[in-house]
Structure 1
Amino acid sequence: MTTPTKELSGRIALVAGATRGAGRAIAVQLGAAGATVYVTGRTTRGKASEVGRTTETIEETAELVTAAGGEGIAIPADHLDVEQVRAVVARIDEEHGRLDVLVNDVWGGEHLIVWDTKMWDTELERGLRMLELGVKTHIITSSCALPLLVRNPGGLVVEVTDGTAETNKGFRENFYYDLAKYAPIRMALSLGEDLKGVGCTAVSMTPGWLRSEQMLDHFGVTEENWRDAVAKSEHFAISESPVFVGRAVAALAADPERARWNGRSLSSGELAKVYGFTDADGSRPDAWTYIEEVVKGGAKATADDYR
């Protein structure tokens, strides 16, 4: 089942980094549940970010939110620019006087990763840029937005990352990527401590192997024929569409008992078992369990056994 529509009517959300991938899907699913969703990012119809993709824009994301049943509002913002982020929050405050859901999904560092390279052989500027994009942006956004979010009890902060506290115990193949993706997990833990005294909740959230636009392009497939890529990488069979993590966040935001998750690192596959939602194709891929048990553990099973 999907998250029932209109459960988030009257709720105000900010999805920072909503241009594409998980951020876009989360914004759309919050909209499908009736929320007003402010979407931010650096790629607009008039200007591309350093990622260099011009086919996905924040304006398009806002239109998809509205088409899904919510209200999408696009605001261009570089989340490394404190004044730009403060302006976004000030506008939300002026127009609604509240913020109920903050999703920190800013990243855009895939083009900087050099796999299988020692820390000292990685260009320092490249590594520090990854940390700026994946860590500093989240800190700036939370610092600017939380004073508005904590005005009312029940607020939710979602730190989007890659992996859970359990799966990220091992090295993530690149020094800087490892830091960039473990930091949001610790942010959620720390923010959870700060927020629980004011009746709000913080979690980190990870999709499994995400079929983002960039990932589909990498394999030369589309969402319609994505299974063709399994011939190139057998474990791609456990992948999930961005809709899955979008539904995970929407279900969490609609849960009146979401505080039970405070400080936790969560995955789309884990929450699907709790809330009963599915991916767009009706399956419930549990990618991280598959990776731990089959890819790393050598269990004799197929991806279909984990869908």
Structure 2
Amino acid sequence: MTIQARSLAGRVALVAGGTRGGGRGIAVELGAAGATVYVTGRSSASGRSDLDRPETVEETAEKITAVGGVGVAVRTDHSRPEQVQALVDRIAAEQDGRLDILVNSVWGGDPLTDWAHPLWEQDLEKGFRLLRRAVDTHVITSRFALPLMVARRSGLVVEVTDGNTARYRGSFFYDLAKSSVIRLAVAQAAELKPYGVAAVALTPGFLRSEAMLDHFGVTEANWRDAVAKDRHFAHSETPAYLGRAVAALAADPGIMAKTGRALATWGLYREYGFTDADGTQPDFAAYWAEGLEAEYGPLGDPI
């Protein structure tokens, strides 16, 4: 199937962690498909989070509305159950109890990830803080949001992760967080299946986020200049690609056939036919098989 224009008109979505990166890409593309999107995060016009990034939830909401959706920004710390409960209560009150799509995309673990040391040399407090940000927030959000879907006996939960195989991701707490998010999708799928609600994990390839562009000192307009610094960057993808994957999943009437699976942009584009913002169809798994497998081993089979 291919994505139809306005295929999500009338649907209500919550993108938790939609301030920037993949979360923003998902929120905007859901809006482009016609959805009303509640976008949340800790960075807003009233103040930045400790990540000290310039992007805000209000900016994301404006982008959603600009492409034809309805964007609603709600500053929320998803590690705080009372704030998440208030958020869900607001959605229920404003949307007559309706929530069709829940995207758990909260991360915030980049400054806490230690890529240089094994577990026995790492700072435990930083590691546990990473897990609280990347895993606990997802559990808390689902705990309060899922009753809206269960009551209507329909919906889709998307757990955004990194990788869809059991391959070790290079840092103990990072790997534990991203692997745990896949298990969150599996567990939610099992409990939600009797109610007609699907849950999947979804990974992008090499994501060309705002932070990654800043890291290489480029913008989206001249991002290819960074390939000289990292040849793998030539095979990166924008957050819109991930967003279009989510929009396609949400519009698929046969989504229950995928519940409990760990999916990837590089597999879904073949099925749904979506492209990245520039019309290309990046396939990081194919690039890995051709250019990286000899050095790093096979990517592995999907979980």
TM-score range, shorter chain: over 0.9
Question: 8 Å contact 1:203–1:261 — kept in the other structure?
Answer: yes
Aligned-residue RMSD, C-alpha: 1.4
Does structure 1 residue 272 correspond to structure 2 residue 274? no
Residue in 1 that maps onto 2:301: none
| Partner of residue 279, structure 2 | 282
Q: Which residue of 1 aligns with 2:117?
A: 117
Alignment map for 1:290-305 (pairs within 5 Å): 290-297=287-294
Equivalent residue number for residue 51 of structure 1: 51
Q: For residues 84-233 of structure 1, what are the structure 2 equivalents within 5 Å?
A: 84-96=83-95, 97-164=97-164, 166=165, 169-233=166-230
Corresponding residue number in structure 2 for 1:303: none
> Which residue number in structure 2 is paired with residue 236 of structure 1?
233
SS for the counterpart of 2:72 is strand
Deviation at 1:296, TM superposition (A): 2.1
Distance 2:276 2:213 in 1: 17
Structure-1 separation of matches of 2:75 and 2:82: 12
Q: Distance in 1 between matches of 2:123 and 2:56?
A: 29
Aligned-pair CA distance for 1:224: 1.0
CA distance in 1, matches of 2:211, 2:203: 17
Alpha-carbon distance, 1:2 to partner = 7.7
- Distance, in Å, in 1 between the alignment partners of 2:234 and 2:282 is 9
Aligned pair 1:248/2:245, yes or no?
Answer: yes
The answer to whether the Cα contact below 8 Å between 1:16 and 1:41 also exists between their aligned partners in 2 is yes
Which secondary structure state, in structure 1, belongs to the residue aligned with residue 274 of structure 2? coil
State whether residues 200 and 258 of structure 2, in contact with CA within 8 Å, keep that contact through their aligned partners in structure 1: yes
CA deviation digits over 1:119-167, x for unaligned, max 9?
Answer: 1211111101110111000000001110112111330000001110x2x
Match of 1:67 in 2: 66
**Which whole-Å CA distance do the structure 2 matches of 1:154 and 1:133 have between them?**
28
**Partner of residue 260 from structure 1, selected from 257, 262, 284:** 257
Give yes or no for contact 1:2–1:247 (8 Å, CA) kept in 2: no
SS at match of 2:218: coil
Letter in structure 2 aligned against 1:289: A
- 2:17 and 2:39 in contact (8 A); partners too: yes
Cα distance in 1 between the residues matched to 2:290 and 2:76: 40
Q: What's the CA shift for 1:293?
A: 4.2
Three-state SS of the structure 1 residue aligned to 2:5 is coil
The one-letter code of the counterpart of 1:268 is T
- When structure 1 is superposed on structure 2, of 198-207 and 169-178 the one drifting more is 169-178
Q: Which amino acid aligns with 2:231?
A: E
Q: Render the CA deviation track for 1:10-32: whole Å, top value 9, x for unaligned.
A: 11100000000110010010011
Q: Deviations over 1:22-72 (max 9, x none)?
A: 10010010011110000000000121111111x210000001111110100
Q: Is residue 192–residue 201 contact of structure 1 (8 Å, CA) maintained in 2?
A: yes
Kindly indicate whether the alpha-carbon contact (under 8 Å) linking 1:2 and 1:278 is maintained by their aligned counterparts in 2.
no
Distance 1:241 1:215 in 2: 11
Q: Separation in 2 of the partners of 1:31 and 1:259?
A: 23
- TM-score (norm. length: structure 1): 0.93
* Other-structure match for 2:82: 83
Contact 2:2 2:272 in 1 (8 A): no
Question: Is 1:16 matched with 2:41?
Answer: no
Residues 256 and 2 of structure 1, relative CA distance in 2, 3 Å threshold: closer
Measure the CA separation in 2 of the matches of 1:283 and 1:189: 31
Alpha-carbon offset, residue 209 of structure 1? 0.3
Q: Is the 8 A contact 2:10 2:34 kept in 1?
A: yes
CA distance in structure 2 between the aligned counterparts of 1:103 and 1:228, rounded to whole angstroms: 32
1:171 alignment partner, SS class: coil
1: CA distance, partners of 2:229 / 2:220: 16
Question: Unaligned stretches of 5+ in structure 2?
Answer: 297-303
**Alpha-carbon deviation of 1:116?**
2.4
Aligned equivalents of 1:43 and 1:2: distance in 2? 34
Structure 1: distance between partners of 2:149 and 2:194: 13
> Residue 197 of structure 1 aligns to a residue in which SS?
helix
